Amino acid sequence: MLLDGWALLDRMDLRAQEEALRRWLNASALVRPGGTVVVSADAGLSVVQSLVRWDPAGFAERELADRRELGFPPAVTMASITGAPEHVRELLDQLELPEGTELLGPVPVASAREGARDGDARTERALLRVPRGGVGALARALKAAASARSARRDEHLAQVRVDPPHVV
C-alpha cells in the first residue's frame, strides 16, 4: 500500500513528482513476484501512470519536455536570491548579469522558518534564468557580487542557490 500520494505530490517543489515516483518504485520493487501494489493517488496523473506502466524513462522524458516549455531546470539553469528585500536588491544591483540572463522578480515570499504568512513582505526572492550553457558566466557573476560584499565585511543575508528545488 502506497498511502498519502497527495502529500508527496502536493509539495511546493519542482521535484515533487520525481521524488514520489522514486519512492513508489523503490517500495514496489520490494513486492514479491505476483504481489499487488496499491497507490492512493489520482490514476489520471502522469506520475501514477508511470508507476502503473513501470516507465520511469517515459516519465523523465515528459517531465523534461514540460520543463523546457516552462523554462525550469534542468532545461535551463536558474539561480535564486532570497532574503530581506533590501539585501536581495543590493545583491542584484551589484551583479553584472551575463548576456541572455532573465531576471524574474523580486517578489515577496512566505518563509516558514520565520513564521511568515502569505503576503508577508519580510522575505523576497529573485530568480535569474540562463540557458544551460550560461551556467559558468552566471556562477562567476554571483561569486563576484558575493565576494565584493565579503570584502566590505557585509553580512551575507541574501541566500543564493543554483537550480533550487523551490521557486515559489
pLDDT (0 to 100) of residue 162: 84
Q: Which runs of consecutive H residues, i.e. helices, occur in 38-159?
A: 46-52, 56-70, 85-94, 135-151
Per-residue pLDDT of the chain (168 residues; tens, 9 = 90+): 888 888 888 888 888 899 999 999 999 999 999 999 999 988 889 999 999 999 999 999 999 999 899 888 888 989 988 888 888 888 888 888 888 899 998 889 875 554 444 444 588 999 999 998 888 888 888 888 877 766 566 565 788 888 776 665
pTM over 0.75? The answer is no
| Number of neighbouring beta carbons within 10 Å of residue 117 | 8
Query: Nearest Cα to 48, choosing from 58, 117, 65?
Result: 58
pLDDT (0 to 100) of residue 117: 47
Q: How far is CA 43 from the centre of its chain?
A: 25
| CA pair distance 166, 56, nearest whole angstrom | 22
Q: Which runs of consecutive H residues, i.e. helices, occur in 97-165?
A: 135-151
Q: 87 exposed, middle or buried (CB, 10 Å; 0-12, 13-18, 19+)?
A: buried
DSSP 81: E
pLDDT (0 to 100) of residue 19: 92
Helix-strand-coil split of the chain, %, nearest 5:
45, 15, 40
